Amino acid sequence: MFSRDNKTVIVFVGLQPLPESVWVHVLSSLAEITAVHDRRWLSEFRAIEIYSVCTDKARMHAYIAKTLPDFLQSHAIDYFILDLATRSKKILVTDVDSTLIQNECIDELARMAGVEKAVSEMTASAMHGAIPFDEALRKRVALLRGLLASALEEVYANAIRLTPGARTLSATLREQGLHLVMVSGGFTYFTARLSEELGFHHHHANTLEIRDGVLTGEVSGPIIDKETKRRILIQHCATLRFDTSLAIALGDGANDLPMLITAGDGIAYHAKPIVEQTVMNRIRYNDLTAVLFALGLADYQFSAIEEEISAELKKT
């Protein structure tokens, strides 16, 4: 019988069902580096998990990156390599902007304030790790000085778009018993509402200072930077008495790197180059439901109703 101890699982996920010949090629390519002990469809001809006795995940990642990159790209296939012993997670800690939602909230506010170009350029630089996040945030928020606080509601109601699969991801993991935590370099106004909408247990973000119904251009309290995100993940695991190996983290930018590295498994979602170069498990082609496949859940276990999924896709 195949034991879970000291074994790994490799999960391949296509955007859609693919011809059997595609999967035959993937399996035959893997045979050169590891014995395939068993395999299981998570979604027929779309997502497959393959069990291996090879425990050197970095070596397997390097092999796949060297031998299959063009093939995987041409068929829009993502892959993940995880330890079987810690694959069943207890907590999800996720970034928000450009991960759970498609937007950068501060860029949307900047558009309303007429400073979109300056702010979006600083956002991009911070997410790529070119300038310190806290410095970039303070400079961007300062440019919002004088913006009516009512703009926050307008942005949330009319501009914010959930990432495809966000509802399915949160509903399914909640049903599976995971603790769900948002940790954002954005703002509590948005995370509080998103947390309620998606059923998260906790949210952490920066607080915009508002006085007399107007943004002052300041942030109240400490800034949620990359080290703060990492500490929040560790603190939630400690409070819940889970080892960090039982945490899964999602993010896209340089501000997420320590959190992604600290979690038992970090997954980079359509990430910036600095993150792609560091985090081995990445979603490049799929939506957020690929995370569920990575964790070993089959498509029939997904919780969101079809209407919710369709609504998400129509907004893209």
C-alpha to C-alpha distances, 199 to 166, 167, 191, 240, 259, nearest whole angstrom: 11, 9, 11, 18, 21
Q: Tell me the residue ranges of DSSP E strands in 143-296.
A: 179-187, 202-211, 214-220, 247-251, 265-269, 281-283
Query: Cα(219)–Cα(231) distance, rounded to whole angstroms?
Result: 20
Q: Among residues 215, 190, 218, which one has the least CA distance to residue 204? A: 190
Tell me whether residue 95 is one of the annotated catalytic residues.
yes
Q: Which residues pair with 249 in a beta bridge?
A: 93, 266
Strand order in the sheet with 36-43: 36-43, 47-52, 8-14, 77-83
Query: Cα(297)–Cα(290) distance, rounded to whole angstroms?
Result: 10
Tell me whether residue 78 is one of the annotated catalytic residues.
no
* Catalytically annotated residue among 5, 38, 83, 95: 95
* Catalytically annotated residue among 5, 78, 83, 97: 97
Catalytic residue set: 95, 97
